[in-house]
Amino acid sequence: MMQQFYPTVTHPYQFELHKDMHLATAHYIDNERAGNCARVHGHTYVINITIAGNELDETGFLINFKHLKEAVHGRFDHTLLNDDPLFAQTPPSTEKVAETIYTIVNDLLTPLAHKPVCIQVIVRETPTSYVVYQPKQVQS
């Protein structure tokens, strides 16, 4: 599903889970330096979320794949990203979309007693352009 490859993260955890999803979404970058991107346009974003951990919950899951899709796809699919309050103070660039998805997923995981963590989010905006976001604590 992801074009080309998955950048890998070196980590100490025993389990690593990947969730891929597509987001059909519009955006614009409200800055004259953004050129054509200052006009509203659409992308089929390709998202990869990586979760890791040493323990599973009572269902044997690190995190239910469906819960990741609901939190991200459910919020952004078929929307204008600029309308979302999460992008009220920041442009929905590929970089900020990746960081924002990380924050949403991290908020989903933080209450869980078995302590899964999000270690990477990849956002592919076009066939030729993508961003990898890693939280500081897993960067090597």
Ligand X SMILES: Nc1nc2c(c(=O)[nH]1)N=C([C@H](O)[C@H](O)COP(=O)(O)OP(=O)(O)OP(=O)(O)O)CN2
Task: Determine if residue 43 is labeled as part of a ligand binding site.
Answer: yes
Catalytic-labelled residue, pool 11, 37, 95, 114: 37
Cα 94 to its chain centre, rounded Å, is 10
Catalytic residue list contains 55: no
Sign of the dihedral defined by the CA atoms of residues 86, 91, 97, 102, in that order: negative
* Terminal CA-CA length for the chain: 26
125 binds ligand X per the rule CB under 6 A: yes
Find the part of the chain contacting ligand X (CB under 6 A) among 6-14, 47-55, 90-98, 112-120: 90-98
Which helix or strand (DSSP H or E) is residue 18 part of?
strand 15-27
Task: State which residue, 73 or 124, has the beta carbon closest to ligand X.
Answer: 124
Residues lying near ligand X in the complex (CB under 6 A): 37, 93-95, 125-126, 128-129
Which positions are annotated as active-site residues?
Answer: 37, 78, 125
